[in-house]
A and B are shown apart, each in its own frame.
Chain A
Amino acid sequence: MTTDVLIAGAGIVGAAIAAAFREEGGKCLVVEPHTVGGGATAAGMGHVVVMDDSPAQLALTEYSRRLWDALPVPPSVEREHRGTLWVAADAEEMAEVARKHALFPASEILDERALYEAEPELRPGLAGGLLVPGDSVVYAPTAASWLLRLTPVRYTAIESLTPDGALLADGTQVSAGLTILACGTGITRLLPELPIKPRKGHLAITDRYPGFLRHQLVELGYLKSAHGHSNESVAFNVQPRSTGQILIGSSRQYGDESPDIRPELLSRMLRRAVEYMPRLVDLQVIRTWTGFRAATPDSLPLIGPVRDRVWVAAGHEGLGITTSLGSAALLLDRLLGDTPAIPPEPYLPERFA
């Protein structure tokens, strides 16, 4: 069979590319071995967040957040503009609050008192925080389904790449003008040279406790734990869902490719959350699970060509829900020869060649 664009992966990134390309880039076919939005897309928190580990990360997340806000998602996506509240435990972290405040549009510095007014369940003795009101929360699997609503999806795997497209596991030969691989950690099966490694995470979700939590809260100590490349870390990261449930994260691990829950890491993660919000201990967790982020050595995704007529959009680590839309827009601009809204160079795969 023949298509203009063959997209591997029906996660949020593949779905965003399909939606962007369908309008101007031609006929798309998506290939997905499991379910739409069923991998890292379903495992994560669905936090649309501006982050600034690097200038390129800030540019891509900010651009992507604007694209999310312009997207008329249906109610099934459960979008809520909860805002992110970065919680500072001490003076050192308050210095980070000031630094971020200068970078994040419309952010607001909260002193200790304002912090407790914003989130009364936080433990006493914290220093303050930074409220970023434009950040939002979505339910990413339904967002992926909605983005793919007009694109055909074929439920099989890509067996191998061929000179003019791909051979599918069901035996079909697909001839494509362009093949885009957006299959997260699965991409290294097809392109083993890409520097993408799975970084495992645990999450827990509680029963419904409406009003307990108002914003997505992330500890600024997160900077020390999440972005070092140490083998195992946990950080306080909690999110209110529209149902009144609370998602509790987060953990990060390299070198463990089993989807099993690691009880001692899960309890470390929950203890960290309770240190920040003591009354969380009274809430009932109803489900725990794990997922795999696709991590790159410089914490930036790979967006662009890797071979003749083969492009990739993968390695978004924990930010794929946010940066899916920006990634898709950068690829569409490349296809059409348009000037992109942000410089695409920091994300080009060739930086690791």
Chain B
Amino acid sequence: MIAVLINGRRIDVEPGTTVAAAVMRLQAGFRRSVTGELRGPLCGMGICMECRVTLNGRPHERSCQLLCAPGMEISTDA
């Protein structure tokens, strides 16, 4: 299992789990739109940009396109 931190909470996931799947498992929520609406993964293939999270300090990373790695720190707007 791989341990990652999502908004400061630890979660253990199977190898091969996408960051988006891990965020959904925790029901943490994803990004907020400019007008404050909660958004989440729509396309699952890196096009819609609605699943963006801050990953290890880098904003606007597409969580559906990245696999969890040990010790990843993920934060969301939600």
| A contact residues vs B (CB 8 Å cutoff) | 207-209, 243, 282, 284
Contact = CB atoms under 8 A, between A and B. Distances in A.
**B interface residue count range (under 10 / 10 to 19 / 20 to 34 / 35 or more):** under 10
Interface string B28-67: 0000001000000000000000000000001110000000
A209 B59 contact: yes
Interface of B: 34, 58-60
A207 B60 contact: yes
Contacts of B59: 207-209
A331 to B, nearest CB: 39
Contacts of A243: 34
9 contacts: A207-B59, A207-B60, A208-B59, A208-B60, A209-B59, A209-B60, A243-B34, A282-B58, A284-B60
Contacts of A284: 60
B63 to A, nearest CB: 14
A243 B35 CA distance: 12
A30 B59 CA distance: 44
Contacts of B34: 243
Nearest to A210: B59
B3 to A, nearest CB: 25
Contacts of A207: 59-60
A207 B60 CA distance: 8
A243 B59 CA distance: 15
B77 to A, nearest CB: 11
Nearest to B60: A207
A297 to B, nearest CB: 44
A243 B33 CA distance: 12
A349 to B, nearest CB: 44
B62 to A, nearest CB: 10
Top 3 A-B residue pairs of the complex, sorted by shortest distance between their CB atoms: A207-B60, A284-B60, A282-B58
Nearest to B61: A284
Contacts of A208: 59-60
A326 B36 CA distance: 40
A91 to B, nearest CB: 36
Contacts of B60: 207-209, 284
A209 B60 CA distance: 9
Nearest to B59: A209
Identify the interface centre among A208, A209, A243, A284: most chain B CB within 10 Å of its CB.
A284
A243 B60 CA distance: 14
Contacts of A209: 59-60
Contacts of A282: 58
B39 to A, nearest CB: 14
Nearest to B57: A282
Nearest to B34: A243
A207 B34 CA distance: 12
B47 to A, nearest CB: 13
A329 B22 CA distance: 61
A208 B34 CA distance: 10
B75 to A, nearest CB: 15
A130 B14 CA distance: 54
Given A207-B59, A208-B59, A284-B60, 6 more contacts: A207-B60, A208-B60, A209-B59, A209-B60, A243-B34, A282-B58
Contacts of B58: 282
A266 B34 CA distance: 28
B52 to A, nearest CB: 8
A291 B19 CA distance: 39
A282 B60 CA distance: 10
B76 to A, nearest CB: 15
A208 B31 CA distance: 13
A261 B48 CA distance: 23
A169 B59 CA distance: 50
